[in-house]
Amino acid sequence: MLRRLNGWFIPAVAFFFASSCYGAAPTEPPAALILAPKDVEMVKGGSAPLVLTLRGEITSCVNVTFTSEPKQLTEELEPFWLCDAENGTSWQVILNSTTVGKTVVRLHTLPPGLVSTEDAFVRLAVIVDPGLNVFGDVLGWVYTIAWDISFFPQIVHNWRRRSVIGLSFDYLAFNFIGFFSYFLFNMGLFWIDEIQAEYFDRNPTGVLHVRLNDVIFPLYALVCTAAQIAQCFVYEREPQQRVSTTCRIISAALIVSALVGCVLVPSVKSLLWLDLFYWLSYIKLIITAIKYTPQLWENYQRKSTAGWSIYQVILDFTGGSLSLIQMFLLAGNYDDWFSILTDPAKLGLGLLSIFFNIFFFIQHYCLYKNSEKRKQSAESGHLEKNGELKNGKETSPNNLPDFSTHM
């Protein structure tokens, strides 16, 4: 009996203690070093002071060193020793910039484990000229206003004509789904604390670029698109005008993919709610890549751009162009051309809007420039030939004016 107990009891006890030791949560270091401020911007050749603060106490000595990733933009900071420091002690660290770009300056300590350095980092940006940043901000406001105003011409155009003939219903359907997805994405990253926490867990030194205007714009665009959809139910339209089967299938697939994500995230550990919100932003990018095609096809079939406001196209083209100019301007000011590729949504929206708007310009000003005039002229000629129209008024051979009194 004892042999049997020894056969399983002693290994079980050993396994229990071993797993308890290895599975125990690591203790937090008794002290922490913090660098502030977290974001620093300076001109090439300039200097900026940082404050290094100790939280807790150090009862021994630690060696402090600095590194810059991905590249060195300042003069190298000399390592130094901290010994027997009290809580709240602070030191000043001076950064002297030498090269333009963006980097993260991190602090490290040896021996490891005595002091936490989780918050001992600074995001550093060294620029060529601060005036370029101001000009970039101006461009940002201009292209935002241009994109905001671009929704009104189509609404006014429909209202004046009391008709939506010539307007693609597929375009409106795609637009509504795209802006709704984009609104949810920005709202999540701006307002939901859990999503923000997941973002910073994945990007500890990252910057969350979503601002309040990023939330308001897609909401505003959503309302304007809904207004255009409402006009389709009220104003005159052709019998065959409807949302196509292709559009319905694509829209359903995108919506179902988002709903599947809502089911998968709680059940799959490797997936975060942040991933689902990023997928919503990709849905917006996918829709932007295809939403203009139905309207181009509608214009081609009718050999006319009537019903499609060219002023909307002009404003959309202006917004997309200025958005790209701003991206390249800021990338040049920071000598960080790779950053253009790190924002695929903005880059894609700008390029796609310019690409498709060029085709709208070709249709409106070249291919179908006088299509409406030719159509009206042909109709007028046909009526005049039958004695039904003269000088824009309906007439007949029996009620033509008598010119004999003027002879």
Predicted pLDDT of residue 24: 45
pLDDT tens across 336-380, in order? Answer: 887 777 677 778 888 988 999 999 999 999 999 876 665 555 444
Predicted pLDDT of residue 401: 42
- Beta carbons of 214 and 345 less than 8 angstroms apart: no
Q: CA–CA separation, 194 vs 186, rounded Å?
A: 14
Q: CA–CA separation, 150 vs 218, rounded Å?
A: 13
| Segment holding 182, helix H or strand E | helix 169-191
DSSP state, residue 208:
-
Mean pLDDT (the chain, rounded): 83
CB atoms within 10 A of CB 307: 22
Predicted pLDDT of residue 349: 82
Average the pLDDT over 120-131 and give the result: 90
Q: CA–CA separation, 224 vs 375, rounded Å?
A: 31
Average the pLDDT over 110-119 and give the result: 88
**Tokens 């790190």 -> residue:** 342
CA 248 to chain CA centroid, Å, is 25
- Beta carbons of 334 and 357 less than 8 angstroms apart: no
Predicted pLDDT of residue 275: 92
Residue type, 172: L
pLDDT tens across 33-91, in order? Answer: 999 999 898 998 999 999 999 998 888 899 999 999 888 889 999 998 988 888 888 99
- Joined together, the tokens standing for residue 47 give 């200097």
SS3 394: strand
CB atoms within 10 A of CB 88: 10
pTM of the model: 0.73
β-pairing verdict for 389-390 and 393-394 = antiparallel
Q: CA–CA separation, 320 vs 163, rounded Å?
A: 28
126 backbone dihedrals φ, ψ, rounded to 5°: -115, 125
Predicted pLDDT of residue 335: 84
What's the pLDDT band for 255 if we cut at 50, 70, 90?
very high
Q: Which residues of 374-405 are buried (b: 16+ CB within 10 A; e: fewer)?
A: eeeeeeeeeeeeeeebeeeeeeeeeeeeeeee
- Beta carbons of 30 and 113 less than 8 angstroms apart: no
Predicted pLDDT of residue 112: 84
pLDDT tens across 133-184, in order? Answer: 889 889 888 988 998 899 999 999 999 999 999 999 999 999 999 999 999 9
Closest CA to 312 of 290, 294, 286, 292: 292
Give the residue with greater pLDDT, 85 vs 255: 255
- Joined together, the tokens standing for residue 193 give 């604390």
What's the Cα-to-Cα distance from 6 to each of 3, 11, 19, 271, rounded to whole Å?
Answer: 5, 8, 19, 45
Closest CA to 325 of 140, 179, 83: 140
What's the Cα-to-Cα distance from 138 to each of 1, 73, 135, 235, 391, rounded to whole Å?
Answer: 86, 27, 5, 39, 52
Give the residue with greater pLDDT, 243 vs 270: 243
Task: Report the percentage of the chain scoring pLDDT > 90.
Answer: 47
Task: Report the percentage of the chain scoring pLDDT > 70.
Answer: 82
What's the pLDDT band for 310 if we cut at 50, 70, 90?
very high
The gap between the terminal CA atoms of the chain, to the nearest Å, is 141
Residue 406 has pLDDT above 80, yes or no: no
Give the CA angle between residues 316, 320, 323 to the nearest 5°.
140
Residue 395 has pLDDT above 80, yes or no: no
Predicted pLDDT of residue 375: 54
Predicted pLDDT of residue 400: 42
- Beta carbons of 163 and 307 less than 8 angstroms apart: yes
Alpha-carbon dihedral 228, 153, 350, 144, rounded to 10 degrees = -100
Residue 383 has pLDDT above 80, yes or no: no
